[in-house]
A and B are shown apart, each in its own frame.
Chain A
């Protein structure tokens, strides 16, 4: 079922997701908070507004599917799925721990609502192209959404997949690039640039949309625009801030794959307006 909630409610959901990103990485003492926080608003709009999904029936025919190609951002996916009702939020405290369903990177065999196991960069996008091809073949109305990292665009398989998506006219496929500008070793621009990313995707046959990745309204409108596209896939380049919402993490590459200490975590939750 597609949910219609007002933006004020969506803001609250995004905040809850951010708080749970911090708590998960703190309790696990590992994980990837920076790129999870940058994607929280995108994930909120996807699961609480745009996508046709039913947590009570995760494998329902005709559902929309989401693939977290930037699989290291698993905390944002897990928090989103839990708040959407796929599994109890209590599970989040098991993140990365032995025996938990919540593996370091998403495992489709363990977590309800996870459509593809991801983490090895680029592969999720490639598989989402396969899902879109299968839905076209079956005349299945379900649409496919894939969230990519900007650093991830450095993987060659991304462009192999993009080529196939355009060739097979996959207008049921929407890629979202979480453009936070940072990767492990620093700024993308300095590590190895993928710019100009618009021209690249355009030349590969995509419809390209730009949004502020922290404006829920802009994100929601971009999905509307993608829905109207016929005969070609869409990519939404969402400009985001790594670590968004936590003062000491914002714009810092160092928070790509590092857990906050207890004091840091408490401060983050407070800043986000959540409860410890």
Chain B
């Protein structure tokens, strides 16, 4: 297992590496470079870093203009302000024009913690996956974040990458087989399947250990690419196991759970339970407290499996 690290930390590191290899990369931020970790790139390549200040709409409008001038643009801010505040700019200036912009949005989900509900982006996956042609990625650990961002840089077109604030346990190694658009079966099992994304993959693995002791075999799949989603791995799970639980640090309306349900209902109908925020905003608190309150723990996954 690789070391424990926040996916935003991994972003900062890999961006600096990419900047060295690829002179065509330009990075933009909106006054949060020390938090989004684009400051690492800015320190090494100041001539290719542009701070747009606290103006997220313009951040993405400018990103589109630079991308259409032949650059690969990484444009970062907090997920709330990227996917939420700048949604229509991203939709029309980046999505509609197929601009080569990588929206690497940090501080997603309730684990941003103390800032409270106004800053906890729990709708971004749903918003971003509705934009035609947008690739949507939600890595589960630092290493997969690095590998996926490297691949995103090679893709010609818009990509949304959801990153977290808090350090998460390492799940993958540098030579792990991680590919955009392909789910990873991180633990095989025969009774039920948990399809998780982001920090919930680790919770799912803990849930699997608990259920194993009770004689229930759980398959755990990391869906790090929400769009295009890996239909094959979902259909296989629907057919080979008795039911599916989806798990995401996001509202259950429109995100991973909905994406999985769309695949299942059209190809291999089975029972699904949805772990995520249940039509609710978050609040201030420590990440661990919030995960418990909003039903985002391994114990909640265990209950959901048993409810099937």
Show the binding face of A for B, using Cβ within 8 Å.
107-109, 115-117, 119-120, 122-123, 125-135, 137-138, 140, 156-157, 160-161, 163-164, 167-168
B68 A126 Cβ-Cβ under 8 A: no
Show the binding face of B for A, using Cβ within 8 Å.
26, 47-48, 50, 52-53, 55, 57-58, 60-71, 88-89, 92-93, 96-98
B70 A134 Cβ-Cβ under 8 A: yes
CB distance from B55 to the nearest CB of A (A): 4
| Contact of A130 (CB < 8 Å), options: B55, B57, B65, B92 | B65
* A-B contacts, 14 listed (Cβ < 8 Å): A117-B93, A117-B96, A123-B89, A126-B57, A126-B89, A128-B65, A130-B67, A131-B66, A133-B62, A137-B48, A137-B71, A161-B58, A161-B62, A164-B58
**Interface hub of B50, B93, B96 (most chain A Cβ within 10 A):** B93
User: With a CB–CB cut-off of 8 A, which chain B residues contact A125?
Assistant: 61
User: With a CB–CB cut-off of 8 A, which chain A residues contact B52?
Assistant: 160, 164
Q: A130-B62, A137-B47, A161-B62 are in contact. Are A117 and B92 (CB under 8 A)?
A: yes
CB distance from B182 to the nearest CB of A (A): 28
| Contact of B61 (CB < 8 Å), options: A107, A108, A127 | A127
Q: A116-B97, A117-B97 are in contact. Are A133 and B65 (CB under 8 A)?
A: yes
CB distance from B33 to the nearest CB of A (A): 15
Closest partner residue, chain B, to A126 (CB atom): B61
User: With a CB–CB cut-off of 8 A, which chain A residues contact B50?
Assistant: 133, 168
A164 B62 Cβ-Cβ under 8 A: yes
A164 B53 Cβ-Cβ under 8 A: yes
A109 B88 Cβ-Cβ under 8 A: no
**Interface hub of B26, B53, B67, B92 (most chain A Cβ within 10 A):** B92
Besides A130-B62, A133-B66, A157-B61, 4 more A-B contacts (Cβ < 8 Å) are A126-B65, A133-B62, A134-B69, A161-B58
User: With a CB–CB cut-off of 8 A, which chain B residues contact A164?
Assistant: 52-53, 55, 58, 62
CB distance from B50 to the nearest CB of A (A): 6
A116 B92 Cβ-Cβ under 8 A: no
| Contact of B57 (CB < 8 Å), options: A107, A134, A157 | A157
User: With a CB–CB cut-off of 8 A, which chain B residues contact A129?
Assistant: 58, 61-62, 65
**Interface hub of A115, A119, A130, A168 (most chain B Cβ within 10 A):** A130
